Homo-oligomer: A and B are copies of this chain.
Amino acid sequence: MPLTESNAEPPFDVLRVSHVELGVRDLDASRAFYEDALGMVVTAEDERGMWLRGLEDTCHHALLLRRESPGKCLRIGFRVRAEADLDAVARYFEGRSAEVTEETPRGQGRTLHVHDPFGTPLAFYHRQDAVERHLQRYDRYRGAAVQRLDHVNVFAAELQETYDWLAGELGFRVSEYTETAEDTPRLWAVWLHRKGNVHDIALTNGVGPRLHHVGMWVRGEMDVIHACDVLAASGMGAAIERGPGRHGISNAFFLYLRDPDGHRIELFTGDYRTLDPEFAPIRWDLDDPRRQTLWGHAAPKSWFDEGSQFEGLEPRQPRLPVRPVVAR
């Protein structure tokens, strides 16, 4: 596959994927999972929801749990580099006849709500409220000690088109990708970033758009192991869906969890920098089992099939009907 040229002068400058809004049923159950087992910090809670951040965050929230539409993903948040970029966002989407709604949500500056060309609900903003950083409050570290949000991974029904839009229009850059083993290989999955590590957003071929998982950054392998021990000791052991193990792609040491509403969370550590121009995207063959799992066990079927639907969006069958061989 000829990789799309990343747009070096995108219409606006996306800094990073910066928060996710998830629908949940029971905030107490969510708090036990995210605060006690994952070690995230609760910034605020009200009758509508709960705002959480990582231990190193000075931003108001990396995760917004809304007490509505349990199991749905309500929105993905994109940071832009400057306030002026927000005007460019408005121009860009309005120029494509997309509806743009402006709001100022709790804990966040001026925000533009839009849908991407595939129907995914997005929020664009430049800043959140600054709050106290707990990075050196080691006396409060718990469980996985999540430091920050790293990325999102979504199922894309129109994978090539979604990728073309993110890279060719918005200037996302490819770090790694998977192709089918055909004579004319087709793109099966792709890892895209703006912030200079492996990804801000990854696309996987599948029934979509749906959210596959939210990736949370942890300091190292020992925090992942401690999270497993704490989950087991707290009666939440069933939350562990896959891992721990190491991905060939991204080199990440991973653990996949399902939160009390079924949203998938990845604890993630161990990727690398992608800033240098001589870094070339890494190609993986869809049939290479080391791609998914450098070591560790085959993913369960749920991991391939299940994801959080986006609110108000009916997922579509993938254009590319190929599935990976489930390893071993």
A contact residues vs B (CB 8 Å cutoff): 8, 15-16, 18, 36, 56, 58-59, 79, 82, 126-130, 135-141, 147-148, 195-196, 219-222, 225-226, 228-234, 237, 240, 244-246, 248, 251, 253, 270, 272-273, 275-280, 290, 294-297
Contacts and interface: CB of A to CB of B under 8 A. Distances in A.
Contact of A15 (B135, B275, B280, B290): B275
A59 B276 contact: yes
A249 to B, nearest CB: 10
Copies in the complex: 4
A279 B139 contact: no
A75 to B, nearest CB: 18
A56 B230 contact: no
A276 B219 contact: no
Contacts of A295: 228-229, 231-232, 237, 240
19 contacts: A79-B275, A126-B277, A127-B277, A135-B272, A136-B229, A138-B226, A138-B230, A138-B233, A139-B234, A140-B233, A141-B226, A220-B222, A225-B246, A225-B253, A228-B245, A229-B246, A229-B294, A229-B295, A237-B290
Interface centre among A18, A139, A195, A251 (most CB of B within 10 A): A139
A118 B8 CA distance: 34
Contact of A136 (B136, B195, B222, B233): B233
B279 A58 contact: yes
| Most chain B beta-carbon contacts within 10 A, residue among A270, A273, A275 | A273
